[in-house]
Structure 1
Amino acid sequence: MPVYSMTGYASAQLNGPQAPVAGDATPAPGRVLGMEIRSVNSRFLDLTFRLSEDLRAFEPPLRELLQSRLKRGKVEVRAGLEATSGEGLREPGARQLQRLGALQDMVLGWLPQARPLSVADVLRLATPETGAADWGPTVQSLAARTLDDLVAARAREGERLVQMLRGHLARLRDLAAQARPLVPQLVEQQRQRFLERWREAMALGGSAGAPTQAEAAQDRALSEATAFAIRIDVAEELTRLTAHLDEIARLLDKGGEVGKRLDFLIQELHREANTLGSKSATLELTRISVDMKVLIEQMREQVQNIE
């Protein structure tokens, strides 16, 4: 199953039903329905509809359609009717003009103060509008097609995000591999320093109780070395970090709705990298911790776009 981004855009147009023709009027081309759907990242599914007045009745079925295909994202749907070339310029027929003239005479007979029909009034009355209900199949067909394009765009963007995340996972694994041998080396170096200090102390002091003091000093030096090793040991952090990396890779392979789980794992990665830095006793380990946190922050920004 693919991984979907929450970022995408799609638009399409579809010719609508023809307006009915009355009398001997010249047929006119119908209007065109235009629709666009755009989405960005969001914690939940947030739908916004910006429909023209004559399409408002179709918001409930459109909402149901989007909810069946999308799980997360701030989604905006725009739709409206656009006039095709020549619409509204249909030539009225003679019978229509005669009827409009007769109706105007009748109205003026009863209401002499009424305003006579203008050319615009005649053209409007001679061009009946297509009923909103007639647009139902067209709206549903166009919405399904536009939504398919949006989902495909989100899938393509999701694939790019997956490739980027896989690259960052590989770099984090390399950094973890660099950090592992540093701690044992540092512990051994520190142990040797403690023992050297013990030998120096024993060489400077000489007394009757020297053997007993030497043994006590050696035990203390070894205890301090052990405490130091415990304090800087990051093996547990590296083990948990590797486990989180494995789980992220598994989720990317699985696909589907993995955005929230990935976001949680990124937080855990950041916690382990912080602990690694706080326990650092060498500049090299500090550098590795900083490099890890930079990569993890980049991953966090991209994971927030995944559905």
Structure 2
Amino acid sequence: MIQSMTGYGKTVLQLPTKKITIELKSLNSKNLDVNVRIPSYYKEKELNIRKKLASLLVRGKVDFSIYIENNGGEVSSKINKNAVKEYMNQLKTIVDSNEMELLKIAVRLPDSLKTEREELDEGEWLQIDEGINEAIKKTTLYRTDEGVSMHNDFVLRISNIASLLEKVIEIDPKRIAHVQDKIKKSIDELAAKIDESRFEQELIYYIEKLDITEEKVRLKNHLDYFRKELNETTSNGKKLGFITQEIGREINTIGSKSNFADMQKLVVQMKDELEKIKEQSLNVL
């Protein structure tokens, strides 16, 4: 069953001192393009995250984020007491002021606050890793649901092209007769004496150049192949794209050879259906 490359998954973890939100979004792309935004103290896990996303999501433009909301139990910045005291001692030698005023000045000076690097808690990371797995599952489910809608649309479009092809096959003898009559009429209008035997040979040659038997057979085979790929267990958007190109090639050739207004109208309708398939296939995983 095909999958869409469009997906979304979100997991929220409530830990004792913080709330962690894991968000995952994916859009269509020719290859895998992963963008990871995480707090600095999780950076050592970034490579593992990328490998997991590549393995499970395969293809698409993927945006992965971890957001932290502290509940007030922890602060990463602390007052550098030694620096503040030293500043205050130096200020006392410059200005005559009370301790509170000196403190207000000292805490604004460089190095009065120190940021302590938070070490990674492996127990916390195990919970986050489970949250990542859950977000990926939700994204995959989203992709699968989108894939069902796309599958139904593809089946409809391919069936429409197949129906139009049947009409092409049905009117093909009429087209050939029309071409023959058109040529004979042109010859008659010239009022020229012609060798009937030679004329028949040239007419057969010309009709053979306009023959679309092979194109009709190949187009039908490509449509059947497209349907078969839609029902495969794995999603392969690139292969569907290649088959779509081949379908387009046969439709274009039929159009260039048709030389018959009724058939050209059918070709235009087939092209319209194919354009809708092409647009959708760009989003298939």
- Bin for the TM-score computed over the shorter chain: 0.7 to 0.9
Change (3 A) 1:150 1:199: closer
SS in 2 for 1:246: helix
* Change in CA separation of 1:63 and 1:35 when aligned onto 2, cut-off 3 Å: same
Contact 2:41 2:118 in 1 (8 A): no
CA RMSD of aligned residues (A): 3.5
Unaligned residue ranges in structure 1 (runs of 5+): 19-29, 90-99, 206-212
CA 1:150–1:36 in structure 2 vs 1: closer, same or farther (change >3 Å)? Answer: same
Q: What is the rounded CA distance, in whole Å, between the counterparts of 2:254 and 2:275 in structure 1?
A: 16
Q: Count residues with an aligned counterpart.
A: 264
* CA deviations over 1:179-234 (Å, ceiling 9, x no partner): 01222222234445666888999xx99xxxxxxx8xx7221332233123212211
Once residues 34 and 226 of structure 2 are traced to their aligned partners in structure 1, the CA distance between those partners, rounded to angstroms, is 29
Counterpart of 1:133 (choices 121, 127, 152) is 121
Mapped to 1, the partners of 2:198 and 2:129 lie a distance apart of 81
In the TM superposition, 1:98-113 aligns within 5 A as 108=85, 112-113=89-90
Structure 2 gap ranges (5+): 92-101, 108-112
Q: 2:131 pairs with 138, 142, 163, which one?
A: 142
AA in 2 matched with 1:244: H
Q: Equivalents in 2 of 1:3, 1:189: separation in Å?
A: 44
TM alignment of 1:1-307, pairs within 5 A: 2-16=1-15, 18=16, 30-84=17-71, 87=73, 108=85, 112-113=89-90, 116=103, 131-134=119-122, 135-191=124-180, 217-307=195-285
**CA distance 1:199–1:298, change in 2 (3 Å):** closer
Q: What is the CA distance between 1:258 and its match in structure 2?
A: 1.2
SS of the aligned residue for 2:198 comes to helix
Q: Would the alpha carbon gap of residues 141 and 157 (structure 1) be closer, same or farther in structure 2, given more than 3 Å must change?
A: same
Counterparts of 1:200 and 1:267 in 2: how far apart (Å)? 43
SS in 1 for 2:284: coil
Q: For residue 209 of structure 2, what is the amino acid of its counterpart?
A: R
SS at match of 1:233: coil
CA 1:218 to 1:82, structure 2 compared with 1: closer, same or farther past 3 Å?
Answer: same
- Confirm or deny: 8 A CA contact 1:195 1:222 kept in the other structure: no
Against the structure 1 CA distance between its residues 165 and 197, is the aligned structure 2 distance closer, same or farther, given a 3 Å change threshold?
closer
Pair 1:220–1:181, CA change in 2 (3 A):
farther
The change in CA–CA distance for 1:110 and 1:169 in structure 2 (over 3 A counts) is closer
Work out the percentage of aligned pairs sharing the same amino acid: 25
State the SS of the aligned residue for 2:199: helix
Letter of the structure 1 residue corresponding to residue 224 of structure 2? D
**TM-score of the aligned structures, taking structure 1 as reference length:** 0.75
The Cα of 1:34 is off from its aligned counterpart by 0.5
Larger radius of gyration: 1
Q: Cα offset for 1:281? A: 1.4
- Whether the 8 Å contact between 1:43 and 1:73 is mirrored in structure 2 is yes
**Whole-Å Cα distance in 2 between the matches of residues 104 and 218 of structure 1?**
113
Task: State whether residues 55 and 80 of structure 1, in contact with CA within 8 Å, keep that contact through their aligned partners in structure 2.
Answer: no
Q: How much does 1:46 deviate?
A: 1.3
